[in-house]
């Protein structure tokens, strides 16, 4: 079965491979490819993987994700591999990297944080305090962030 | 920068040096010696939330050192008209040399420190931090025990919303304290703080039993269950009045054990305790003046003389 292509190759766009099994839908939401866009998206879940046992794969057509968009991926899928596809071939490989500070990636989820006032002009800042397991806190209020809630608060 | 937003902004060495400065400034705080170290300097007291002791002790500290104070409350000002904190603080940047801020929103002090150039002292941000209270608490503990090292400290009451205990616990573990956290289930210390304390190598015990911790403690730090921090009145009613100490509870305590409280109190400290040797909360409130004097001097880059006379 692993020899068989589950979805067709794409001509142009982005392929995100090695997403932890079951996380592809979160990745779609995190990258906001599910809203305000009409690009075709193919999603494969729970396929066998030598490296991970099981994995998810995403193929987004006619869209080259920016490095800034890909850095968001690191929050939920730091081991993902990303290829930019042009004319059916891999044109570039991009690295998913979790920075120490996430600037304007997501809004702090704590109800009483100063940044909840959307009129306040300073940037949203989250700090990565631990990488394994991932622990993220708001730079201003210091509250730990719940990953599920962060995905809902992506900017 | 010389902001003090959390206790992480001060090293242990700096903490001790500020406490030493504060100790020398006690006669100035009492009005016995005139020492206009901050003459010509202006402090903006930015209180977006009520305060009695913190606001007045900052004002007293600044004025005793010859400086002047602009007092701000959010009622009846542009904040009531919907002005952002960012804009309000831009104004302060032009009017004063140093600002003290208290705000109901957590993170407001760090936000202000990033927004403007003058030094910011955090006087309480929501349930976040209150480092200048911690400094006066450390001053009071050192005054009573002669050291901050290796003490057994029980923090009691509202550990979830109580910002004084958040800042104080972080500072105490840096001096090797053993912490006993006494609270009802719904008011436990936030998990990220407990995890930070343990990461510092601190011995942290969590319990809901106050009577059990009295015999071992060097310091019992009581806090008020803060009605205003509860999103829901029913939740408040479940825990109000859960911990109380009176003079009879002191018979089982160690010699030299002190009872502290950031005040105001409601029912958690019975007035019978006030005249015992253990009670330190009124002394603690006074200590806010010399400690805040020392902090203001540090923020403004003014050295406190080695001999104050």
Q: Hey, is the C-beta of A143 within 8 angstroms of any chain B C-beta?
A: yes
Q: Is B1 among the domain residues? A: no
Tell me the per-residue pLDDT of A129-144, one tens digit each, with 9 for 90 and over.
888 778 899 999 998 8
Residue B233 CB coordination number (10 Å) = 8
Tell me the per-residue pLDDT of B77-100, one tens digit each, with 9 for 90 and over.
777 778 899 999 999 999 999 999
Looking up residue B70, the CATH number of its domain turns out to be 3.40.50.1370
Average pLDDT, rounded, for chain B: 93
Residue B56: what pLDDT?
96
Residues B197, B273: one domain? yes
pLDDT over 90, % of chain A? 48
**Are B107 and A117 a contacting pair at CB < 8 A?**
no
Residues B221, B250: one domain? yes
Q: Is B214 among the domain residues? A: yes
Strand, helix or coil for residue B198: helix
Residues B149, B255: one domain? yes
> For residues B118 and B112, is the Cβ–Cβ distance under 8 A?
no
Residue B240: what pLDDT?
83
Q: In the predicted model, what is the mean pLDDT of residues A13-32?
A: 90
ipTM over 0.95: no
Q: Is B135 among the domain residues? A: yes
- Count up the domains in chain B and report the number: 2
Please tell me the pTM assigned to this model.
Answer: 0.86
Place of tokens 């003290």: B100
Q: Hey, is the C-beta of A108 within 8 angstroms of any chain B C-beta?
A: yes
Q: Is B93 among the domain residues? A: yes
CA atoms within 13 A on the CB side of B105: 20
Q: Is B242 among the domain residues? A: yes
Nearest 5°: the CA angle B1, B3, B5 is: 135
> For residues B86 and A120, is the Cβ–Cβ distance under 8 A?
yes
Residues B170, B262: one domain? yes
Residue A70: what pLDDT?
81
Q: And the tokens for B271? A: 């007035």
Domain containing residue B104? 7-129+286-299
- Phi and psi angles of residue A31, each rounded to the nearest 5 degrees, phi first: -90, 0
Contact residues on chain B for A134, CB-CB shorter than 8 A = none
Residues B222, B294: one domain? no
Tell me the per-residue pLDDT of B143-171, one tens digit each, with 9 for 90 and over.
999 999 999 999 999 999 888 999 999 99
Contact residues on chain A for B6, CB-CB shorter than 8 A = 142
Tell me the per-residue pLDDT of B264-307, one tens digit each, with 9 for 90 and over.
998 899 999 999 999 999 999 999 999 999 999 999 999 999 99
Among A42, A33, A44, A21, residue whose Cα is nearest residue A66: A33
Residues B52, B89: one domain? yes
Lowest-confidence pick of A95-104, B6-15, B264-273: A95-104
Residues B232, B94: one domain? no
**Are B85 and A108 a contacting pair at CB < 8 A?**
no
Residue A2: what pLDDT?
47
Place of tokens 């998810």: A56
Residues B158, B58: one domain? no
Residues B113, B140: one domain? no
Residues B71, B135: one domain? no
């Amino acid at each position: 079965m692993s020899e068989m292509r589950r979805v067709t190759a794409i001509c142009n766009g982005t392929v995100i491979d090695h997403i932890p099994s079951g996380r592809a839908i979160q990745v779609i939401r995190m990258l906001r490819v599910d809203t305000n866009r009409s690009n075709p998206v193919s999603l494969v879940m729970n396929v066998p993987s030598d490296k991970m046992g099981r994995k998810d794969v995403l193929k987004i057509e006619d869209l080259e994700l920016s490095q800034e968009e890909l850095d968001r991926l690191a929050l939920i899928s730091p081991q993902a591999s990303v290829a930019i596809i042009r004319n059916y071939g891999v044109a570039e490989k991009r690295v998913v990297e979790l920075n120490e500070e996430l600037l304007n990636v997501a809004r702090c989820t704590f109800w009483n944080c100063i940044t909840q006032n959307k009129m306040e002009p300073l940037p949203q800042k989250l700090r990565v305090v631990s990488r394994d397991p991932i622990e993220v806190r708001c730079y201003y209020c210091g509250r730990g962030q719940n990953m599920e809630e962060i995905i809902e608060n992506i900017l | 920068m010389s902001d003090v937003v959390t206790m992480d902004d001060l090293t242990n060495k700096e903490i001790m040096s500020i406490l030493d400065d504060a100790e020398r400034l006690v006669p100035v705080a009492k009005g016995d010696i005139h020492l206009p170290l901050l003459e010509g300097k202006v402090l903006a007291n930015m209180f977006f939330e009520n305060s009695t002791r913190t606001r007045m002790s900052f004002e007293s500290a600044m004025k005793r050192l010859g400086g002047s104070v602009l007092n701000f409350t959010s009622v009846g000002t542009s904040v009531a008209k919907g002005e952002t904190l960012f804009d309000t603080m831009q104004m302060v940047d032009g009017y004063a040399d140093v600002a003290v801020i208290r705000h109901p929103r957590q993170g407001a002090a760090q936000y202000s420190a990033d927004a403007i150039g003058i030094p910011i002292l955090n006087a309480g941000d929501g349930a976040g931090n209150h480092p200048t209270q911690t400094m006066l608490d450390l001053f009071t503990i050192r005054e009573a025990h002669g050291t901050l090292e290796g003490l057994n400290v029980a923090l009691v009451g509202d550990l979830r919303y109580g910002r004084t205990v958040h800042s104080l616990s972080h500072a105490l573990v840096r001096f090797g304290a053993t912490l006993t956290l006494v609270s009802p289930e719904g008011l436990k210390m936030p998990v990220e703080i407990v995890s930070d304390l343990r990461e510092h190598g601190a011995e942290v015990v969590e319990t809901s039993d106050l009577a059990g911790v009295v015999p071992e403690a060097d310091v019992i730090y009581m806090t008020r269950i803060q009605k205003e921090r509860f999103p829901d009145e029913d939740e408040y009613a479940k825990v109000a009045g859960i911990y109380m100490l009176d003079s009879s509870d002191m018979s089982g305590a160690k010699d030299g054990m002190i009872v502290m409280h950031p005040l105001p109190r409601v029912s958690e400290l019975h007035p019978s305790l006030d005249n015992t040797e253990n009670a330190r909360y009124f002394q603690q409130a006074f200590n806010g003046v010399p400690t805040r004097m020392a902090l203001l001097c540090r923020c403004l880059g003014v050295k406190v003389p080695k001999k104050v006379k």
